[in-house]
Amino acid sequence: MQRREYVVGPFDRVDISVFGVPELTRTVQLDANGRFSLPLVGEIQAAGYTPQQLGEEIASRLRGRYVRDPQVAVNADTVNQMVTVDGEVNEPGMYPVTGRMTLMRAVARAKGVTEFANTNFVVVFRRVNDREMAALYDLRSIRQGVYGDPEIYANDVIYVGESQARRLFASFLQGASALSYPIVALIR
Q: Are residues 147 and 93 both part of a single domain?
A: yes
Question: In this structure, are 73 and 25 located in the same domain?
Answer: yes
Q: Could you give the 3-state DSSP secondary structure of residue 167?
A: helix
Residue 82: name the closest of 30, 121, 118 by CA.
30
Q: What pLDDT is recorded for position 2? A: 46
List, in order, residues 6 or more apart from 129 with CB less than 8 Å away: none
Considering the domain architecture, whether residues 139 and 105 belong to the same structural domain is answered as: yes
Q: Residue 159: which H helix or E strand, with range? A: strand 157-162
Residues 166 and 120 in one domain: yes
Instruction: Report if residue 8 sits inside a domain.
Output: no
- 126 domain residue, yes or no: yes
100 found inside a domain:
yes
* C-alpha to C-alpha distances, 73 to 14, 45, 84, nearest whole angstrom: 10, 17, 30
**Tell me: the pLDDT tens digits for 50-86?**
899 999 999 999 998 888 889 999 998 766 678 899 9
Does the residue 151 lie in any domain?
A: yes
In degrees and rounded to multiples of 5, residue 176 shows phi and psi of -80, -15
Whether residues 157 and 89 fall in one domain: yes
Tell me what pLDDT residue 109 has: 94
Q: Are 118 and 91 in contact (CB under 8 A)?
A: no
Q: Which residues of 37-47 are buried (b: 16+ CB within 10 A; e: fewer)?
A: ebeebeebebb
The answer as to whether 5 is a domain residue is no
User: What is the rounded distance in angstroms from the CA atom of residue 165 to the CA atom of residue 162?
Assistant: 9
CATH code of the domain containing 44: 3.30.1950.10
Q: How many domains does the chain have?
A: 2
Domain end among 49, 78, 107: 78
CA 179, CA 78: separation in Å to the nearest integer? 60
Domain that holds residue 63: 13-78
Q: Do 89 and 64 share a structural domain?
A: no
Taken in order 93, 94, 97, 101, is the CA torsion positive or negative? positive
**What is the model's pLDDT at position 187?**
53
pLDDT of residue 155: 83
CATH number at residue 131: 3.10.560.10
Low-confidence ranges of the chain (pLDDT < 70): 1-4, 78-80, 98-99, 166-167, 169-188
Pair type for strands 82-87 and 101-102:
unpaired
The pLDDT of residue 1 is 41
**Alpha carbon distance 164, 185 (integer Å):** 16
Beta-strand (E) ranges in 35-177?
35-38, 42-45, 72-78, 82-87, 93-96, 101-102, 117-128, 131-137, 151-152, 157-162
Residues 161 and 93 in one domain: yes
On whether residue 184 sits in a domain, the answer given is no
Residue 187 counted as domain residue: no
93 & 156 share domain = yes
Are 73 and 92 in a shared domain?
no
